[in-house]
Amino acid sequence: MIPVILSGGNGSRLWPLSRKMYPKQFLPLIGEETMFQQTLNRLPDNLGEPIVVCNEEHRFIVAEQMQLIGRKAQAILLEPFGRNTAPAAAMAAFQILESGHDQIMILLPADHHIKDVPAFHEALKKAEQAALEGKLVLFGIEPDQPETGYGYIRKGDSFKELAFDVEAFVEKPDEATAKDYLSSGEYLWNSGMFVMSAERYLQELKQYEPDIYETCQLAFNNCHVDMDFKRLPAESFTHCPDNSIDYAVMEHTRDAVTVPLNAGWSDVGAWSAMWSVNSKDDKGNALHGDVLAEDAQGCFVRGHDKLVALLGVEDLVVVDTQDAVMVAHRDKVQDVKKLVSRMDKAERSETIVHREVFRPWGSYDSVDMGARFQVKRIKVKPGASLSLQKHHHRAEHWIVVQGTARVTCGEQEFLLSENQSTYIPIGEVHRLVNPGKIMLEIIEVQSDTYLGEDDIVRLQDNYGRSESGRSEAGGEDTSASDKQSAKDSVSA
């Protein structure tokens, strides 16, 4: 069996911790490992190397997090933009069949939590047997409460004591209906986890959603290898319909079955779920960080770098990050996405990146800013290098606070050790490299009238990024001449 990790989500309901450029699956929400790493590590040892389908902007995060846990991917497929799970599964299926042999694929979202791993493995064995019989298997979670945030599956007849036929898919119910579903014992939560043959999935997709099948086939046949990744071409993938596996295939096929799963599952889709899966004190509070709670109960608090104090409150969610604080009632956290939507419309950066922005070479944190200056803390991994670049509108002062820096500035190349500094004039070609074995940390002070992250011309890069396009901060790809015109307009 081949695990297929679907890692294209943004996790907007877990804002402000989850951001578009660093969403929830890459965060250590429960335990020390990230959700993505836990998804890989809970798999049985006898499976093939995984296929990961992710947003192209997350490619280096995926590669690094797999490397940290000693995992290798059969392929990392990069979507230029999200088109939901049905196209993502199709791309993985085409990747499997490229070898000339059909195999069973396990489609797993990268951001789910499963507490009882042995129970998951037992259910996986049943799902594999059903898939070998030509069935398209969906894990159904045995409900323990009248949940209104999940879709439901109604069980039908038993299939060879392995699974149940899917009699019907049901949309998210109201509370009264959810209570009826729970008491009947006939319904399961729709987990969004599937087991099926790659060839059978494509057969059903071609029958029920031929536009998705044909577009994905065209995109896959024209993808190109970029370092350790496979890029899907935007020009063909843009025409692919947006649809889920459930709507595209499972609600139409006659071969849908469900394997019940009772393994402490959660999709960790909202802060209320985080409260549910975390340990609590005798007042029902789940507290993380430097938190002082007095006369408070039923609260979830995730602090960051400051004291969070609660007094006389109930059922609150408080999440503190470097650049944002969110306070919500626990019953309202499903609506966090409404806040995110408002911020998106206002073009606020807080939905896109954290204050500390991660890059393949390390990270930077904007710690202070004024009218004509900006101060950043820059971390460069051992052996890593920023791009060879220049700026039209800012000068930079670099001070090494940890490690050793190899600096290129114009025609010069030299080393700086701790407490040493250098100056990069406006327009000078420069590069920063960490030649050492420990993390390099520098303080960068930028100065001039325009300090936007689009003020960059990349001349050479080790990570395959656009030479005249993306800034280190993740700005949009544009030509050097277009960016210069835009910068000149701002300066004027």
Maximum distance among all Cα pairs of the chain, rounded to whole angstroms: 76
Say yes or no: 364 and 283 in one domain. no
Backbone φ and ψ for 175, nearest 5 degrees, come out as: -65, -40
Say yes or no: 255 and 316 in one domain. no
Question: What CATH number is given to the structural domain containing 51?
Answer: 3.90.550.10
Query: Which regions of 370-453 does DSSP assign to beta strands (E)?
Result: 373-380, 388-390, 395-402, 405-409, 412-416, 421-424, 430-433, 440-447
Question: From CA 27, how far away is CA 35, in angstroms rounded?
Answer: 6
Where is pLDDT greater, at 10 or 408? Answer: 408
Out of 335, 365, 386, pick the residue that ends a domain: 335
- Split at pLDDT 50, 70, 90, the class of 431 is very high
300-302 and 286-288 beta bridge pairing? parallel
What range defines the domain where residue 307 resides? 271-335
The answer as to whether 344 is a domain residue is no
- Give the pTM: 0.86
- The residue type at 112: H
pLDDT of residue 466: 58
Question: What 3 state SS string does 139-190 have?
Answer: EEECCCCCCCCCCEEEEEEEECCCEEEEEEEECCCCHHHHHHHHHHCCEEEE
pLDDT of residue 463: 78
Would the pLDDT of 469 be above 80?
Answer: no
The answer as to whether 341 is a domain residue is no
Collapse the DSSP code of 412 into the 3-class scheme (helix H, G, I; strand E, B; otherwise coil) and give the result: strand
- Helix or strand holding residue 368 (H, E): strand 362-369
Sign of the Cα pseudo-torsion (63, 66, 70, 74, in order):
negative
Would the pLDDT of 474 be above 80?
Answer: no
412-416 and 405-409 beta bridge pairing? antiparallel
The answer as to whether 136 is a domain residue is yes
Would the pLDDT of 101 be above 70?
Answer: yes
Mean pLDDT of 384-410: 96
Q: In the chain, what are the helix, strand and coil shares in percent, each to the nearest 5?
A: 30, 35, 40
Say yes or no: 87 and 46 in one domain. yes
pLDDT of residue 492: 28
Say yes or no: 146 and 205 in one domain. yes
- Split at pLDDT 50, 70, 90, the class of 462 is confident
- Split at pLDDT 50, 70, 90, the class of 475 is very low
The answer as to whether 340 is a domain residue is no
For the chain, the domain total comes to 3
pLDDT digits over 112-167, tens only?
A: 999 999 999 999 999 999 999 999 999 999 999 998 889 999 999 999 999 999 99
Would the pLDDT of 472 be above 50?
Answer: no
The answer as to whether 343 is a domain residue is no
Question: What CATH number is given to the structural domain containing 452?
Answer: 2.60.120.10
| Other Cβ atoms closer than 10 A to 196 | 30
Helix, strand counts (H, E) of the chain: 12, 30
pLDDT of residue 491: 27
Report cis status (omega within 30 of 0) of the bond before 16. yes
Would the pLDDT of 227 be above 90?
Answer: no
Question: From CA 353, how far away is CA 24, in angstroms rounded?
Answer: 12
Say yes or no: 127 and 254 in one domain. yes
